[in-house]
Amino acid sequence: MKKVAIVGGTGYTGVELLRLLARHPSVSVCAITSRSEAGKAVVDIYPSLRGEYELNFTEPTTDTLSQADVVFFATPNGVAMKQAPKLLEEGVKIIDLAADFRIQDIDVWSHWYGMEHACADLVAEAVYGLPEVNQEAIKQAKLVANPGCYPTAVQLGLLPLIEQGLIDTGHIVADCKSGVSGAGRGAAVGSLMCEAADSFKAYGVAGHRHLPEIKERLSLAHGSHVGVTFVPHLTPMIRGIHATLYAKLSQPSTSLESIQALFEARYQNHPFVDVMPLGSHPETRSVRGSNMCRIALHRPQGEDTLVILSAIDNLVKGAAGQAVHNMNLMLGLAETEGLNSVPLAP
């Protein structure tokens, strides 16, 4: 039985990790940390976990965390990079659910996240944790950068097309909607029920922190610069991301049926991507609580614009579930272990 620890256990991604790991057959949680809640029982903060854990929150010390085989950082940006070097020296594997190691260009990272990187030398060593792309590298990794939620939905919807050169990569539009849990558990006016309910709005139109991650990863897949217009929206729901992606076919004679076959072949060995039949419309509730990404393809009026619909649960496939998937690969376990939960409906 492998031991895992979670740094930052009181946020939504932290408790989602606890939920998924509670029934994982091959690992046990040996430590869960929170500076603000140290000494308190996990089940006192999250009664949903009663009967699953007898742990108390503790301070995130190296001595405590080094007892684990894998440490998850479910912390704000800028935290993992300060503790990672010492833990790696102790032989601990790390999965960072924040953005500290996602972007290879350090200057770009500093620009978007407003701080100097504390261990820039480790960024090149980190493996980007999108299993549908980097599965073999993740198996050998000591440090994994868990992708962002929006970047996960966007990349999975576009990668087969970019890899095969089927679309104009200069003018991609990613029109994405997220539930309020994407803003985190911290108190903020915009996340209050009276502010978010019965409303719908775009935000970050001038620039969102996930944009450089999306552009960098798609550009790496393409081999050169990819132009993306990314507009996120806040929706009055708790969980879920729905990405509507628009791309112009570079070869209009390509049939939708052949593109469907391409997607099915690309993801046939990846258990957490469901390419739905032509004409489908995936809903966020069809993936709620699961590690699944559902994708559907459309070609309105048979013209040269392809519309790709991609739906995930932002807290699972967009965060904690993908992190557990990465952990399974790093530990040599079956990649689906602990992740076979059926989506919640209704």
Catalytic residue ranges: 149
DSSP for 91-120? T-EEEE-SSTTT-S-HHHHHHHH-S--S-H
Cα separations in angstroms, 342 against 132, 289, 345: 20, 8, 9
- CB–CB of 103/212 below 8 Å? yes
* Helix 210-222, helix 149-163: angle, nearest 10: 20
Q: Look at residue 291 and give its three-state secondary structure.
A: coil
Closest residue by Cα to residue 257 from 284, 275, 274: 275
Joined together, the tokens standing for residue 163 give: 């890899």
Residue 297 DSSP code: E
Q: Within 13 Å and on the Cβ side, how many CA atoms surround 22?
A: 17
